[in-house]
Amino acid sequence: MPLQRPKGTQDHLPEGSPKLGLDVRASAFAHVEDTARRVLERAGASFINTPLFEEAEVYKRGVGGSTDIVRKEMFTVYYFGTHGGYVLRPEGTAGIVRAYLQNGLKQLPAPLKLWTHGPMFRAENVHKGRERQFHQVDYEVLGSSDPLVDAEAIWLMWEVVRALGLTGGRIKLGSIGDPADREGYNAYLREVFTPHLDRLSDDSRDRLERNPMRILDSKSGGDQALIRELEVRPMLDFLGDEARAHFGAVQNYLTAWGVPFDVDPSIVRGLDYYRRTAWELHHEGVGAKSALGGGGRYDGLAAQLGGPEVPAVGWAFGIERLLLALEAEGVALPRAGGPLLFLAAMDEERVGLAAQVALEARAVTRVEFAYRAMKPGSAFREADRRGAALAAVIGSEEAARGVLNVKTLATGVQREVALAELSAFLELERA
């Protein structure tokens, strides 16, 4: 058997490949990225690219040492047999904030809106919608603490998935307060859970020391049963006045703009950098346990990475999960089209000429040519197989008169087009 790709990764394949689900169609990823670009750049976002690997410290400090991501899921990069201290990026935000600080982007007009898309890496247990290399569309706004910016960010996440044709899905919105609110909540959680240490999973016992709020996010059934039994109060009950006012303002904007959301008092995100607003987008097509997307405010992250305080908010969604949701709703994304024209020579001596005509016609549109001589019948069949709209053949007689014999495949109509007029003809056909 030939070598296989690593578990939890996918090949993104061209049109026409066998077994081509939406979630492995290269053109589907391109369509999502193009749509996100259109929506986000109209909102004033600029594209940013950061490295696929960073110093581990960026995520230890950024995402947080008590998260599953940092404790269990980071791929370490080794080179020349030495541990380089680098890891593959498990998410985009910490790297973008690192780049913002390092490159002095604070000098650009605020709020600065950035977006990116690309692969992320987490060594998770693999199942449907949970990959080890997955792809995100990510949007970040730096330099404003205004709740209007949070609301606009949520609106834009909603708008990108709507522009792709998704009709279902719900936003679960919460707030995890300011650091002082969280301290109060963590103290409460320690009080509630400490008498039941023996019933907590090993992971959660550890969380009780490092970051008790993470217990609420536990994947252990026993932990979840205990949380229900103890009727643990939600973080929302512990919000201070400022965080509460901020949360109220975000909700007011969203309600006024008609973005549907449910307040979820128990929302806990899987990353430690959040403050105040936090949300997730859920969809039945992805399954109840996993979110299609998530985001929140992270005013403390820049300082965690050694910079000044920079108020910021952002989100990311997983492209694979979005494609699962679109597939579940039966949304058909546009396929990559074929060439407008497929051109073949009818004899070996004319193969170079046919190629030259095609090479020049590419100034106008997508044109493919045959690398060997073909009879008209096989040329037309080959054009059809490649999804071309037009097929043309040229033999000695056509070459002598300076014309091509062009067939419109959909109607079967054939006509002669002068070589000198081919570009103008293709311009018209393209319109």
CA distance 166 to 246: 29
DSSP 259: -
* In the complex, minimum distance from the CB of residue 130 to ligand HAM, in angstroms, rounded to a whole number: 5
Q: Does the footprint of ligand HAM cover residue 134 (CB under 6 A)?
A: yes
Candidates 334, 25, 19, 277; CA nearest to 151 is 277
* In the complex, minimum distance from the CB of residue 422 to ligand HAM, in angstroms, rounded to a whole number: 47
Q: Does the footprint of ligand HAM cover residue 131 (CB under 6 A)?
A: yes
CA 66 → CA 44, 203, 211, 243, 270, distances in Å? 35, 10, 7, 24, 10
Candidates 80, 90, 19; CA nearest to 50 is 90
3-state DSSP assignment of residue 385: helix
Residue type, 356: Q
Instruction: Kindly tell me which of 100 and 134 has the beta carbon lying closer to ligand HAM.
Output: 134
* In the complex, minimum distance from the CB of residue 154 to ligand HAM, in angstroms, rounded to a whole number: 11
Instruction: Kindly tell me which of 212 and 293 has the beta carbon lying closer to ligand HAM.
Output: 293
Name the region of 276 (left: φ>0; alpha: ψ -120 to 50; beta: rest): left
Candidates 280, 271, 265; CA nearest to 300 is 271
Q: Does the footprint of ligand HAM cover residue 293 (CB under 6 A)?
A: yes
Q: Choose which of 31, 113, 117, 130 interacts with ligand HAM (CB under 6 A).
A: 130
Q: Does the footprint of ligand HAM cover residue 64 (CB under 6 A)?
A: no
Q: Does the footprint of ligand HAM cover residue 158 (CB under 6 A)?
A: no
Q: Choose which of 295, 300, 338, 339 interacts with ligand HAM (CB under 6 A).
A: 295
Q: Choose which of 292, 310, 346, 370 interacts with ligand HAM (CB under 6 A).
A: 292
Do 427 and 363 meet the contact criterion of CB atoms below 8 Å apart? no
Structure tokens at 87: 């890891």
Q: Does the footprint of ligand HAM cover residue 296 (CB under 6 A)?
A: yes
Instruction: Kindly tell me which of 135 and 407 has the beta carbon lying closer to ligand HAM.
Output: 135
Q: Choose which of 208, 235, 316, 345 interacts with ligand HAM (CB under 6 A).
A: 316
Size of the site for ligand HAM (CB under 6 A): 28
Q: Choose which of 29, 86, 185, 315 interacts with ligand HAM (CB under 6 A).
A: 315
Interaction residues for ligand HAM, span 67-126 (CB under 6 A): 91-93, 122, 124
Q: Choose which of 54, 217, 264, 320 interacts with ligand HAM (CB under 6 A).
A: 320
Residue 390 pairs in a beta bridge with: 341, 408
* Strand locations in 261-377 (E): 261-263, 275-282, 293-297, 312-318, 341-345, 367-369
> Of 77-85, 318-326, 337-345, 381-389, which part binds ligand HAM (CB under 6 A)?
318-326
Do 405 and 399 meet the contact criterion of CB atoms below 8 Å apart? no
Instruction: Kindly tell me which of 295 and 339 has the beta carbon lying closer to ligand HAM.
Output: 295
Residue nearest to ligand HAM as judged by C-beta position: 318
Outline where 25-67 has alpha helix (H). 26-42, 56-62
Which residues are at the interface with ligand HAM (CB under 6 A)? 91-93, 122, 124, 129-131, 134, 136, 138, 140, 270-271, 291-296, 298, 314-318, 320-321
